[in-house]
Amino acid sequence: MFEKLKRKSLRKLTEKQLVVRDVSDINSPTKTLGFLVDEMLLQDFDVLYDFSKDLGLVPKDVKVFSFIEVKKKLPSLRQNQVQCKDFNWKGEMHNQNAQEFLDTEFDVLVGYYQGKNEFMDMMISRSKAKFKVGFAGADERLFDLIISVPPTQVDLFKNELKKYLTILNKIA
């Protein structure tokens, strides 16, 4: 029962954030890049840090934060990770690292997940990123650019992202 209430609260918070989103800096050039990743799709984040080379960024300007539905029994050293239990029944997040990630004003934020996910949708909507990129099948209201590539094909996604950011004059 609390799980249903939590998900409904998350949807309500997402709707609220969509109304107040600031899009004034949407066309700014890309100097920082963030990834919000579903760990069910991708566990090796090194390939995401490699995006910096192709986009002409410094590796320190690429940040990755992950979401995992249920924490595994094995201990994890990842600090940049949020999970379902970090949200209360009102949909409020209680993870300081995640809050800092969402408060970072990335020039481009990639929601690296497929379909609808109430937890990740709420995080994307709360992010202060200027330009948001997602995958086909996601809630289109959350993203400024939707790329129709399976998230499992990282190299193809990298090429498509670079192509569209170049077309939009976000990278040189």
Residue 64 belongs to some domain of the structure: yes
CATH number of the domain that 54 lies in? 3.40.50
In a domain, 18, yes or no: yes
- Quick: pLDDT tens for 70-119: 766 555 556 788 888 888 877 788 889 999 999 999 999 999 999 888 89
Measuring CA to CA, how many Å separate 65 from each of 51, 57, 86, 89, 112?
15, 18, 14, 22, 10
List pLDDT tens digits, range 123-155. 999 999 999 999 998 888 999 999 999 988 999
Is residue 92 domain-resident?
A: yes
Domain with 34, as residue range(s), is: 2-22+30-167
Give the model confidence (pLDDT) of 9-33 as tens digits. Answer: 888 888 888 777 777 778 888 999 9
Give the pLDDT score at 28.
Answer: 85
In a domain, 172, yes or no: no
Q: Looking at the 3D structure of the chain, how many domains does it have?
A: 1
